[in-house]
Amino acid sequence: LFAGEVEFLKGVVAMDGLPGSDRIEVCFAGRSNVGKSTLINALTGRKAIARASNTPGRTQEINYFTLGAERYLVDLPGYGYANAPVAVVEKWQRLLKNYLSGRQNLRRAFVLVDFRHGVKPVDEEIMRLLDSSAVTFQCVMTKADKVKEVDRAAVLTQVRAALAKHPAAYPEIVLTSSEKGMGIPTLRSIIAGLI
C-alpha cells in the first residue's frame, strides 16, 4: 500500500479547503518538533515528501497526502510551540480543533509523543478534544533511538496512566524511531487495516 503510492495533494489553511470526505483518513497530531513529518516520510519510504525541519512550527498547514486510491494521510501543524506569534498560534489551534472535532471520515488520530518527554499537558488537551469528538486515537512514541532501553519503562508507565483517563484512547502504544525504521511496518499495517 505504501510503496510508490503516496503523493502530496494539498496544504489546507482553513476548513473550507479540506478535500472531499469520500476517502478515509488518518492524521498525525503532536507537539511541535515531535517528529510528525519525519514519521510520514518514514512510512512512505520517501525522504522528503512531508517537510521536516529542526525549526519547531515548520508545518503550518494541514498537509494532505493521498495513500493509494482510498486513503489520505494528514500531517497536522504542531501544537504547544510557544515562540510563534499569538495570533498565528490561535489561528492554528482553531483550525486544528475544528478539524479534529469535525472530520467525519477521520478513522484514527495518531497522537505522537516524544519518548524522552512523555505525555505533556498540551497532549492531554488534544486527547480530551478527541474524547469529546469520539475520534479513536492511538499513541505513537517517537525518537525511540534517543532513549535507552532501561529508561523506557518509566516513560511508558506514565503514558499508559495518561491514556487510561481517555475513553477514545486505543490501548496499544506504538514505539517508533523514524531514524532507525523501528515500528514503521507496524504502523503501516495498522493504517492499511483501517476501514
Nearest to 137 by CA among 90, 79, 186, 190: 190
Q: Which does 32 bind (CB under 5 to 8 A by kind): ligand GTP, Mg ion, none?
A: ligand GTP
Q: Using an 8 Å Cβ cutoff, are 110 and 26 in contact?
A: yes
Residue span 75-114 as binding mask against ligand GTP, x where in contact by CB under 6 A, dash where not: --xx------------------------------------
- Contact partner, 142, from ligand GTP, Mg ion, none, Cβ < 5-8 Å per class: ligand GTP
Q: For ligand GTP, which is the closer residue by CB, 21 or 98?
A: 98
CA distance linking residue 93 with residue 98, whole number of Å: 8
Report in angstroms how near the CB of residue 32 gets to ligand GTP at its nearest.
4
Q: Which is nearer to Mg ion, 138 or 142 (CB)?
A: 142
Q: Which is nearer to Mg ion, 28 or 115 (CB)?
A: 28
Cell of 61: 498547514
Question: What's the closest the beta carbon of residue 75 comes to Mg ion, in angstroms?
Answer: 6
- Choice between 78 and 106, CB closer to ligand GTP: 78
Could you say which of 57, 92, 119, 141 contacts ligand GTP (CB under 6 A)? 57
Backbone dihedral angles phi then psi of residue 44, each to the nearest 5 degrees: -85, -10
Distances (CA, A) of 35 to 19, 100, 103: 24, 19, 23
Biggest CA–CA distance in the chain, Å, is 47
Q: Does 128 bind ligand GTP (CB under 6 A)?
A: no
Beta carbons within 8 Å of 145's beta carbon, 6+ residues apart: 177, 179, 180, 182
Give the containing element (helix H, strand E) for 99: helix 86-102
Cα–Cα distance between 45 and 33 in angstroms, integer?
Answer: 20
Q: Which of 27, 29, 36, 187 binds ligand GTP (CB under 6 A)?
A: 36
Residues engaged in binding Mg ion (CB under 5 A): 36-37, 58-59
Question: Which parts of this chain interact with ligand GTP (CB under 6 A)?
Answer: 30, 32-38, 52-54, 56-59, 77-78, 142-143, 145-146, 177-179
